[in-house]
Structure 1
Amino acid sequence: MQIFLPIADIPVNIFLILAMGMAVGFVSGMFGIGGGFLLTPLLIFIGISPAVAVASVAGHIAASSFSGALSYWRRRAIDPALALVLLIGGMLGTIAGVSLFTLLRSYGQLDLTIALSYVVLLSGVGGAMLWESIGAFVRARRGEQPTLRRPGAHNWVHGLPLKLRFKKSKIYLSIFPVIAIGIFIGFVGAVLGIGGGFILVPLLIYVLRVPTSTVIGTSMVLTLVTMTFATLLHAVTNHLVDAVLALILMVGGVIGAQFGARAGQRISSEQLRLLLGLLILAVGVRFAVELTIRPTELFTIRALEPGA
């Protein structure tokens, strides 16, 4: 059954969009991630413009992050002080990201920038996760114990000035790296339409040494606020948020997440990391292939906007 997307300006099969939402929701529930890194490329692959895909997925991520953030808040698994400092950087990064998004769109370079960014980001992250997972399997077969990094251990980041004590996470560090991480996550989320949880969580654990007990909930708060802010900016500035598309994706995502969470409980953590690494790397390779394929039509005709 076909449905017309008013902002994307194309007809799509509603069951296909629903199935995509369910598939990404399944992955999100299984791996505990937002899934925007997968959903945005899938929408682009079926013909939705990258600009509309990024803006619409931002709203979808914001809605899906709300229930998760609320759940962690009730369990007192969120560090409010850390979340607040991250949000300061996240808001600044979101504003910068939407500004760059608008500028690139005005110059006609947005689609290429999004595609290249996904190739670099997903290939790098997926390759690193795949390498780490293979190493974990090799160590397990040899009977070696993994070397764990203590959350309270110090590195050069902890020597920076202007420190604050984050009581919930039991860490004492400078606000500069926290704000910098927030800026990066907000910027990437606004430009690429991803929540950034699969980048933010490792940064908080391995760079800032934040305990895992507060990492997930705190990262969800940042994702919720930055993606909501990005959605509003995209809607007001670029008028690209397709509410119909976002609603269908949300329905499918909620359904798929329930099954994904159950499946994830039956798979070991090493297997989960390996599968996620393969999935991220596959999407990055798919984007790279798209960039190298010679188009059937080398020239297109586009109507100029008034005053152009």
Structure 2
Amino acid sequence: MTIYLPIAELSVNILIILGMGGAVGFLSGMFGVGGGFLITPLLIFYNIPPVVAVATGANQVVASSVSGALTHFRRGTVDLKMGSILLVAGLFGATLGSFIFALLRRLGQLDLAISLLYVVLLGTVGSLMLIESVQALRSSRNPVPSKIRVRQHNWIHRLPLKVRFRRSKLYLSAIPVAALGFVIGILTSVMGVGGGFILVPAMIYLLRVPTNVVVGTSLFQIIFVSAYTVVIQAVTNRSVDIVLASVLMIAGVLGAQYGVRVGQKLRGEQLRALLALLVLAVGVRLLVDLLLAPSNIYSVVPTAGF
């Protein structure tokens, strides 16, 4: 069963698109990530133009994040104060990112830039997360005799403009929180990601936010920044395919509900290890595509007068 995508200008199998949306929605609810780092490469692998994949992928991120965030909100695992700071900074970052996206498109380097960014970011974040999660799993299997645990603080916790985040039980500067939201906003516009694959580990390892609060807070920020990105992309680049977005949204919402339930049954170390493997797998797949020679080396570009 095929449907025609008017903006992408091609026909696709609707069952495959539904499967993509459902799978990414499931992973979104399970790990607390928007799923854009998965849906955008998957769409590109399925021959959807990268310009359309980035803009439309952000739309699917909204649907998956809303479904998962509502569940976490009902359970009281969303830090609204921290999420609001991330959100405001993220909106500014998304605005800047939309201009960067348009510039790369005019220069004809958008496809290459997107692939390279994915390979670098996914490879780096995935490797760091995998190393840490494996160490945590080993420690849980071979427990060390109990000692008095003192919460570790780094230079981030010594910055000014401190705010008390009661839900996260933290008292730290708003500067790194805002900086993190700003960077995620840029990545959302340029790469079509929710940014959860960076936001989640950064909140855990840099800001020391409890794992049970990270997931809900991450999804809260992702919802609004991704929605804003979709509007900006639709207005400035006209690259949002509403037909493709609708199919992905329906499947993503359903998948996210099941993902939240599964995620609640796994330990934090297990979730991080699975997410790390998933991130690395997508990064390796994109790297292989960059290194392999294309099947069609030459393309015909129509010129004026022909």
Q: Same fold (TM over 0.5)?
A: yes
Q: Distance in 2 between matches of 1:168 and 1:275?
A: 26
- Cα displacement (A) at 1:291: 0.5
Residue in 1 that maps onto 2:225: 226
Identical-residue share of aligned pairs (%): 52
Confirm or deny: 8 A CA contact 2:67 2:256 kept in the other structure. no
Q: Distance in 2 between matches of 1:95 and 1:122?
A: 23
- Cα displacement (A) at 1:237: 0.3
Deviations 1:137-171, CA, capped at 9 Å, x for gaps = 43344444799986x64321122223333344343
Deviations 1:5-39, CA, capped at 9 Å, x for gaps = 01111110111111111222232333343221111
Residue in 1 that maps onto 2:290: 291
Confirm or deny: 8 A CA contact 2:119 2:287 kept in the other structure. yes
Is 1:302 the counterpart of 2:301 in the alignment?
A: yes
Compared CA separation, residues 247 and 197, structure 1 to 2 (3 A)? same
Q: Distance in 2 between matches of 1:196 and 1:146?
A: 36
Deviations 1:193-224, CA, capped at 9 Å, x for gaps = 11112221222232223344543332222111
Query: Over aligned residues, Cα RMSD in angstroms?
Result: 2.6
Compared CA separation, residues 146 and 235, structure 1 to 2 (3 A)? farther
Q: Distance in 2 between matches of 1:107 and 1:304?
A: 18
- Greater displacement, 52-61 / 18-27: 18-27
Q: Distance in 1 between matches of 2:19 and 2:59?
A: 18
Q: Distance in 1 between matches of 2:302 and 2:144?
A: 63
- Greater displacement, 248-257 / 24-33: 24-33
Look up the SS of the partner of 1:227 in the other structure. helix
Confirm or deny: 8 A CA contact 2:28 2:65 kept in the other structure. no
Code of the residue aligned with 1:127 in structure 2: it is S
Look up the SS of the partner of 1:165 in the other structure. strand
Is 1:200 the counterpart of 2:185 in the alignment?
A: no
Residue in 2 that maps onto 1:102: 102
Residue in 1 that maps onto 2:161: 162
Is 1:39 the counterpart of 2:46 in the alignment?
A: no
Q: Distance in 2 between matches of 1:146 and 1:102?
A: 55
Q: Distance in 2 between matches of 1:137 and 1:205?
A: 16
Residue in 1 that maps onto 2:83: 83
Residue in 1 that maps onto 2:189: 190
Look up the SS of the partner of 1:239 in the other structure. coil
Residue in 1 that maps onto 2:61: 61
Q: Distance in 2 between matches of 1:253 and 1:246?
A: 10
Confirm or deny: 8 A CA contact 1:23 1:256 kept in the other structure. yes
Confirm or deny: 8 A CA contact 2:114 2:190 kept in the other structure. yes
- Cα displacement (A) at 1:185: 0.8
Code of the residue aligned with 2:94 in structure 1: it is T
Residue in 2 that maps onto 1:3: 3
- Greater displacement, 41-50 / 13-22: 13-22
Code of the residue aligned with 2:10 in structure 1: it is I
Confirm or deny: 8 A CA contact 1:139 1:145 kept in the other structure. no
Q: Distance in 2 between matches of 1:146 and 1:121?
A: 36
Look up the SS of the partner of 1:3 in the other structure. strand
- Cα displacement (A) at 1:273: 3.1
Q: Distance in 2 between matches of 1:78 and 1:61?
A: 18
